[in-house]
Amino acid sequence: MSAYNFAFLDEQTKRMIRRALLKAVAIPGHQVPFGSREMPLSYGWGTGGVQVTASVIGPDDVFKVIDQGADDTTNAVSIRQFFERTTGVRTTTRTDAATLIQTRHRIPETPLREGQILVLQVPIPEPLRWLEPREIETRKMHALEEYGVMHVRLYEDITRHGHVETAYDYPVLVNGRYLMRPSPIPKFDNPKLDRNPALLLFGAGREKRIYAVPPYTPVRSLDFEDHPFTVERWDRTCALCGAADAFMDEIVVDDKGGRMFVCSDTDHCERRRGR
C-alpha cells in the first residue's frame, strides 16, 4: 500500500477541518466555510462527508457507511473500503455497534446514543439559495435572522399543491436561531434531528461548508400553524421484516409492474429478522 497519511488527509488539513467543526458545534446550524480539499472521488459523491470523517476518525473507531439506508450499495461500499485502506479501523453494518457513521440521504432507524457521531453528506448547504443566489446576501440574512422568505417557499407549496410538497431536505430551525438544510434526508427523518443524543456533523465538499447540530439541540421543522409539519406514512409493512414504522423503499420486482416495499435501512431490517 502506498504511503498515505492516516485517513488520507495530512494532519494540518485535519486540524483546519477540526477547527471548523469546533466553530460549527459552537454555533449550531451555522455554516462555517472550510478549505475543502481535492479528494479521490468527484464532487457530488460525498467529498464533504469524507473530509469530515477523515478528520474525526481514530484508530479505535468502529465505522459504518450507509447510502440511502443501505450498507451494500456501490457508494457505501467504496467509501467504507477507502477508510479501511487508509485507516485500518474496524467496520460494521450494525448501527448500534458503530462509533462513527457516515451517511447519504438517511438517518438510521435505530436510535443513536451519546458518544456516537453521524456525518451527513450535503450537496447544497444554503437553505435560502432557491430564493437568493447571492452569497453576500444570504450571509446577511442569516446574520440578521431574516428568514421570513423561507416561509414564502412553504406558502407557495401550499398554494400550488394544497400542502407542503417538500419531501426531503426539509428546512429546519436549529436551536431557535439558525435556518438549516438537513441534507436530502426524507422529512420522515427530520424528527430524529431534534434533541438527538449523538453529535450530527454536516459536510459539503463542493460548496466548502461545514455545520453541526450538537447533542440534545432542539431542531424544529418549519411549518404554518394551520399546516403543521407531518411525516410520510405507508399503508404497507416491510415485505421482509414486517416493520410498520420505518421508511420504505419501493422496489419494482418484475416487468408487469409488480412491486414490494422494504425497509430502506438494511441494518434495521436485518435486526428485525434476527440476523
Partner 1 sequence: MAADVPLLRARDVSKLYGARVGCRDVGLDLWPGEVLGIVGESGSGKTTLLGCLSGRLVPTSGSVEFMLRDGTVVDVLQLSEPALRKLARTDWGVVHQNPRDGLRAGVTAGANVGERLMALGARHYGRIRAEALDWLDRVEIDRGRIDDWPETFSSGMQQRLQIARTLVTRPRLVFMDEPTGGLDVSVQARLLDLVRGLTADLGLSAIIVTHDLAVTRLLAHRLLVMRGGEVVESGLTDQVLDDPQHPYTQLLVSSVLQP
Residues 83-122, mask of contacts with partner 1 (x by CB under 8 A): ----------------------------------------
C-alpha to C-alpha distance for 85 and 80, rounded to whole angstroms: 9
Q: Which is nearer to partner 1, 15 or 161 (CB)?
A: 161
Q: Which is nearer to partner 1, 20 or 150 (CB)?
A: 150
- Pairing between β-strand 178-180 and β-strand 219-221 as defined by DSSP bridges: unpaired
Q: Which of 3, 160, 233, 255 binds partner 1 (CB under 8 A)?
A: 160
Q: Does 148 bind partner 1 (CB under 8 A)?
A: yes
- Residue 88 designated active-site: no
Q: Which is nearer to partner 1, 177 or 227 (CB)?
A: 227
Residue with cell 416487468: 255
Q: Does 162 bind partner 1 (CB under 8 A)?
A: no
Beta bridge partners of 252: 259
CA atoms 6, 9, 12, 15: torsion sign: negative
In the structure grid, which three cell numbers stand for residue 209, read together? 461548508
- Say how many Å lie between the first and final Cα of the chain, rounded: 34
In the structure grid, which three cell numbers stand for residue 193, read together? 434531528
Residue with cell 422568505: 149
Q: Does 227 bind partner 1 (CB under 8 A)?
A: yes
Active site residues per annotation: 29, 238, 241, 263, 269
**Which residue ranges make up the site for partner 1 (CB under 8 A)?**
131, 140, 143-144, 146-149, 151-152, 155-156, 158-160, 224-227
